[in-house]
Amino acid sequence: MLPRGRVCLLSFALWIGSSVARLPGTQHPLLTPHNDEKTRADEYEFKHPIRKIAIIGAGPSALVAYRDFVQAGFEVRLFERDDVPGGNWHYTDEAPADTPVPNVAIPLADFVPSFPPPGVDLPFSTDYESDTEIRKDHRGPKPVWDTLTSNAPSFQELPWPAGTKWELTHYQLRNYVRAFASYHNINSNDDNPAVSYNTRVELVEKRLNDQGEEDGWRLWLKKLVPTGNNTSRATWWTEDFDAVTVASGRYNAAVIPSIPGLSEWVQNFSGHISHSRQYRRPQAFEGKTVLIVGASVSGSEISRDINAHAKQVIQSIHPAAHYRVINYLRRVPQNTTIVSEIKQFLPLASGASFESGQIELKNGTIITGIDHIIFATGFRYSFPFLPQYYDDAAYVPHEGSSTDVTPFLPADGSHIRHLHLDLFYIRDPTLAFLGMNLGTQSFSYSDYLSLALAKVWSNTAKLPSVSEMWRMYDKVLEDRGGHGKHFQFLGPTRLTANIRFFIGWLNEAAVKYGGKQIDGLQKYVPEVNDYWLYSHYGGALKENVTTKAMEANLFGAIDIESQIGLFQVDSQEVAYQLMFDDNW
Ligand SMILES: Cc1cc2nc3c(=O)[nH]c(=O)nc-3n(C[C@H](O)[C@H](O)[C@H](O)COP(=O)(O)OP(=O)(O)OC[C@H]3O[C@@H](n4cnc5c(N)ncnc54)[C@H](O)[C@@H]3O)c2cc1C
Ligand SMILES: NC(=O)c1ccc[n+]([C@@H]2O[C@H](COP(=O)([O-])OP(=O)(O)OC[C@H]3O[C@@H](n4cnc5c(N)ncnc54)[C@H](OP(=O)(O)O)[C@@H]3O)[C@@H](O)[C@H]2O)c1
Ligand SMILES: *[C@@H]1O[C@H](CO)[C@@H](O)[C@H](O)[C@H]1NC(C)=O
Ligand SMILES: *[C@@H]1O[C@H](CO)[C@@H](O)[C@H](O)[C@H]1NC(C)=O
Ligand SMILES: *[C@@H]1O[C@H](CO)[C@@H](O)[C@H](O)[C@H]1NC(C)=O
Ligand SMILES: *[C@@H]1O[C@H](CO)[C@@H](O)[C@H](O)[C@H]1NC(C)=O
Ligand SMILES: *[C@@H]1O[C@H](CO)[C@@H](O)[C@H](O)[C@H]1NC(C)=O
Ligand SMILES: *[C@@H]1O[C@H](CO)[C@@H](O)[C@H](O)[C@H]1NC(C)=O
C-alpha cells in the first residue's frame, strides 16, 4: 500500500482567501456606495434574529456545523439518536431491522415517530421492558460492514498524520471522527450539556409566538437510556429554536424495488432476504448460493467480500447500468455470475423450500437454487420528523404550531426540492439541510456549507432575495436536467464550481462583515489519482476492461464499445469522478 504522499492532499492548502484580505477600514474598490445600496435592497432579511440553533445528528456534517456555529457565537444544541458520535461510521454488530416489502411510505421508512400520550405534561417519562428492538429502532444501526474500507479527507484542524494510508478501515475512520468530536468537547463521554446523545428528534414544527406569528421552530425530542439488563426509560420533551440544521444523513431509508411476487417470498422466508445495509460479515454466507441485486458500490463490494465464502455469487444488474457501475463491477472476481434484471419471483409451491423457488429474469431465463438474496438497491432521503413537508404524509399539527406549510419533499424520497445551494430551504431559510449531496466528499464539503450557515444566520453574509434564490434554483434545475434521483448529485465539475462560489461569496462577506475566511480544496493533483487507483484497483484501470457483464452484453441499450472507449480515453477522468464520490 502506498502511504499518503502528503498530509491531507485532499484537504485545504490554498490560502485563496488571503488574496482578498485587506486592511481594516479600507473600502472595497469594486463596491461604490450606489452598488452597495442596490445589493442591500436585494438581500434576504430574516424576520427575527437567530440566536439558538438545533443540529440534528452527530455525524461528520453535524460535528463540523457544531464547531462553526459555536465559533460564530450561537447557542447550539445537538441531538443524536445514537449513543456516540460518528454517524455512518459508528459500526455495530447489531444490524438494522428488515426493510419492509413492499416499502413503507418513505417519510416513515427510517422510523415511525414516537410521542407521549396526548395531553400529558412534558417532560414525560415511561419505562420499557425488553428494550432490544425499541433501542435498535431508536438509535438506527448504520449501513456499514466489518470489512468495509473507506477514505476521507481530513477535517481542517485535524490533519491525518503523515503516512496515513489512503485506504482506511472504517474503524480508523470511526476513531478519527470521534477524535474530532473530542477535540470540540462533544464526544459522548464529555458530558457537554449542549449535546444530547440517545436523543431522537421526533418532530420539527414551525412555532407560533404569542401574537400568532411564525417565530422559530419547536423540536419534539425523545431520549431513551438503558436502566438495566432488559429495561430502558424514555423521556419526551420539547425545545424551541430560531434555526434548525438537519444533518441526519442520506442513508437512513433502505429501498427494495417492487418486483412482482417478491412480497410473497418475503412473507414466507424473511430470513433469506436482506438489504445491503444489514450486511455485516461474509462468514454468514459460508457455502451458500447468494443472489445480489444491484451492482453499485454496495452490491459490488459485498459480492467481492463474500466471494471466498459463498458457494456461488450471482449478481443481477439493472439494464440502465452505466459506466460508473461498470467500474464497481470491475472489482468483482471473474467467477461471479452476472445476470440481467429480475422480471418476477414465481409463486412458491405450498410448503416448498426457499431454495426451490424460481426467479425469472427479464430475458426469460429462470434461476433457482438460491439460498439468500441481498438487495443492494440503495437508499432514499427520509425525514420522519418533517412529515408536514412531504407531498402526501399524514400530519396533524400540534397546538401552537403553524399550519401554513408547503410540501417540498417528494413522497418517493428520491431527492430534496426548493433548497438554495442544496442547503437553505428557500421559503424559510431558518431551516437548512447539511450533507445531502451525492458525488461530493462529505467531510470536506461540509466546511463550506456549515460556514455559509454560520455566516448567514449571524448576518455576516447575506442570502439574495427570495426571488433571486428561486431564479438560481430554476437555473440549477435546468443544469441538472430536472428533478429526480440525480438532482442532489454534484461530481467534480459542479463540486469545483460550487467551492469557487462559496469561497468567493464567504470570503467577500468576511471582508465586508468580518469573521472567518475559508480556503479552497487543494486543486487536483495527478498523484492523488495514482494513489487512489493503486489502492482501489491495484492500478488496473490502465488496462482494457472486460467484465463478464460486458461480454454477455447485459447492459442492454447502452453502447458497450463507447463505454470501453471511455475507459481507454478518459480513464483518469473516470477515476477522478469516482474519487469525488464517497466511493471506497
Ligand atoms: C456503506 C457506506 C460507505 C461509505 N463510504 C464512504 C467513504 O469511504 N468515504 C466517504 O467520505 N463517505 C463514505 N460514505 C458516505 C457517508 O455517509 C459520509 O462519509 C458521512 O458519514 C456523511 O456524514 P453525515 O454527518 O452527513 O451523515 P451520517 O454520517 O449519516 O450521520 C447522520 C447522523 O444523524 C443521526 N440521526 C438521524 N436521524 C436522527 C434523528 N431523527 N434524531 C437525531 N439524530 C438523528 C444518525 O444517527 C447519524 O449519527 C459511505 C456511506 C455508506 C452508506
Ligand atoms: N466505502 C465503500 O466501499 C462503500 C461501500 C458501499 C457504499 N458506499 C457508499 O454508499 C452510498 C450508497 O451506495 P449503494 O451502492 O448502497 O446504493 P446506490 O449507489 O444507490 O446503488 C443502488 C443500485 O441498485 C440498482 N438497482 C435498483 N433496482 C434494481 C433492480 N431491480 N435490479 C438491479 N439493480 C437495481 C440501482 O440502479 P439504477 O440507479 O440504475 O436504478 C443502483 O445502481 C454511496 O455513496 C456509496 O459511495 C461506499
Ligand atoms: C427481557 O424481557 C422480556 C420480556 O419481559 C423477556 O421475554 C426476556 O427473556 C428478557 N430478557 C432477558 C435477558 O432478561
Ligand atoms: C444482568 O444480568 C446478569 C446476567 O444475567 C446478572 O448477573 C446481573 O445481576 C443483571 N443485572 C441487573 C441490574 O439486573
Ligand atoms: C472464486 O475463485 C476463487 C479463486 O479460485 C475462490 O477462492 C473462490 O472461492 C471462488 N468463489 C466462488 C463464489 O466461486
Ligand atoms: C439470459 O441471461 C442469462 C444470464 O445472464 C444467460 O445465461 C442466457 O443465455 C440469457 N438468455 C437469453 C435468451 O438471452
Ligand atoms: C406462505 O405462507 C402462506 C400463508 O402466509 C401459506 O399459505 C403458504 O403455503 C406459504 N408458502 C410456502 C411455500 O411455504
Ligand atoms: C486495449 O484495447 C485497444 C483497442 O482494442 C488496443 O489497441 C490496446 O492495445 C489494448 N491495451 C491493452 C493494455 O491491452
Q: How many residues appear in the chain?
A: 584
Indicate whether residue 227 lines ligand 4 (CB < 6 A): no
Indicate whether residue 543 lines ligand 8 (CB < 6 A): yes
DSSP for 478-496? HHTTSSSTTTTB-HHHHHH
Q: How far is the CA of 293 from the centre of ligand 2 (A)?
A: 10
Q: Whose CA is nearest to atom 12 of ligand 1?
A: 582
Dihedral over alpha carbons 364, 369, 371, 372 (to 10 degrees): -10
Amino acid at residue number 564:
I
Indicate whether residue 320 lines ligand 2 (CB < 6 A): yes
CA 540 to mean position of chain CA atoms: 29
CA 170 to mean position of chain CA atoms: 16
Indicate whether residue 298 lines ligand 2 (CB < 6 A): yes
Contact 576, 491 (CB under 8 A): no
According to the model, what pLDDT value does residue 170 have?
Answer: 93
According to the model, what pLDDT value does residue 520 have?
Answer: 78
User: Whose atoms come closest to the Cα of 312: which ligand?
Assistant: 5
Nearest to 137 by CA among 160, 104, 171: 104
Amino acid at residue number 356:
S
299 CA closest ligand 2 atom index: 15
Indicate whether residue 525 lines ligand 2 (CB < 6 A): no
Q: In terms of DSSP bridges, do strands 372-375 and 520-521 run parallel, antiparallel, or are they unpaired?
A: unpaired
Residues near 583 by beta carbon (within 8 Å), at least 6 away in sequence: 297
Q: Whose CA is nearest to atom 14 of ligand 1?
A: 582
Q: Measure the CA–CA gap between 277 and 291, rounded to whole angstroms.
A: 15
Q: Which residue out of 128, 134, 230 has the highest number of ligand 3 atoms within 8 Å of its CB and is therefore the one to mutate?
A: 230
No. of H helices and E strands in the chain? 13, 25
pLDDT digits (tens, 9 = 90+) for 379-430: 999 999 999 999 876 777 888 888 888 999 999 999 999 999 999 999 999 9
Q: How far is the CA of 482 from the centre of ligand 7 (A)?
A: 44
Q: Measure the CA–CA gap between 226 and 81, rounded to whole angstroms.
A: 13
Q: How far is the CA of 225 from the centre of ligand 4 (A)?
A: 17
User: Whose atoms come closest to the Cα of 132: which ligand?
Assistant: 3
According to the model, what pLDDT value does residue 329 have?
Answer: 77
Phi and psi, residue 434, nearest 5°: -120, 135
Q: Measure the CA–CA gap between 289 and 163, rounded to whole angstroms.
A: 40
Ranges of the chain whose pLDDT falls below 50: 1-38, 524-526, 540, 542-544, 557-558, 560-561, 563-570
Residues near 96 by beta carbon (within 8 Å), at least 6 away in sequence: 136, 140, 141, 143, 254, 275, 277, 278
Contact 516, 71 (CB under 8 A): yes
According to the model, what pLDDT value does residue 496 have?
Answer: 84
According to the model, what pLDDT value does residue 150 have?
Answer: 86
Instruction: Output the CA–CA distances (angstroms, integers) from residue 504 to 350, 453, 461, in the order listed.
Output: 67, 15, 11
pLDDT digits (tens, 9 = 90+) for 476-522: 999 999 999 999 999 878 888 999 999 999 999 999 999 999 987 65
Contact 542, 477 (CB under 8 A): no
According to the model, what pLDDT value does residue 5 have?
Answer: 31
542 CA closest ligand 8 atom index: 13
Q: Measure the CA–CA gap between 348 and 261, rounded to whole angstroms.
A: 9
User: Whose atoms come closest to the Cα of 272: which ligand?
Assistant: 7
Give me the half-sphere count of Cα atoms (radius 13 Å) on the Cβ side of residue 462. 16
According to the model, what pLDDT value does residue 167 have?
Answer: 77
Q: Whose CA is nearest to atom 12 of ligand 3?
A: 230
Q: Measure the CA–CA gap between 267 and 245, rounded to whole angstroms.
A: 39
User: Whose atoms come closest to the Cα of 323: which ligand?
Assistant: 2
User: Whose atoms come closest to the Cα of 548: which ligand?
Assistant: 6
CA 62 to mean position of chain CA atoms: 12
Alpha helices (H) along 52-203: 60-71, 132-139, 170-183
Q: Measure the CA–CA gap between 466 and 47, rounded to whole angstroms.
A: 13
Q: In terms of DSSP bridges, do strands 342-345 and 358-361 run parallel, antiparallel, or are they unpaired?
A: antiparallel
With both helix axes pointing from N to C terminus, report the angle between 442-457 and 60-71 in degrees, rounded to the nearest 10. Answer: 30
Instruction: Name the one residue in this structure whose C-alpha cell is 418475503.
Output: 266
Phi and psi, residue 438, nearest 5°: -100, 160
Q: Where in 300-378 does DSSP place strands (E)?
A: 312-316, 337-339, 342-345, 358-361, 366-368, 372-375
Q: Measure the CA–CA gap between 239 and 77, rounded to whole angstroms.
A: 10
Max Cα distance, the chain (Å): 84
Instruction: Name the one residue in this structure whose C-alpha cell is 495514482.
Output: 530
Query: Kind and range of the H or E element at 78?
Result: strand 75-79
Q: Which residue out of 127, 128, 129, 130 has the highest number of ligand 3 atoms within 8 Å of its CB and is therefore the one to mutate?
A: 130
Q: How far is the CA of 75 from the centre of ligand 1 (A)?
A: 24
Cell for 214? 411564525
Contact 276, 376 (CB under 8 A): yes
Contact 440, 582 (CB under 8 A): yes
According to the model, what pLDDT value does residue 404 have?
Answer: 83
Contact 532, 166 (CB under 8 A): yes
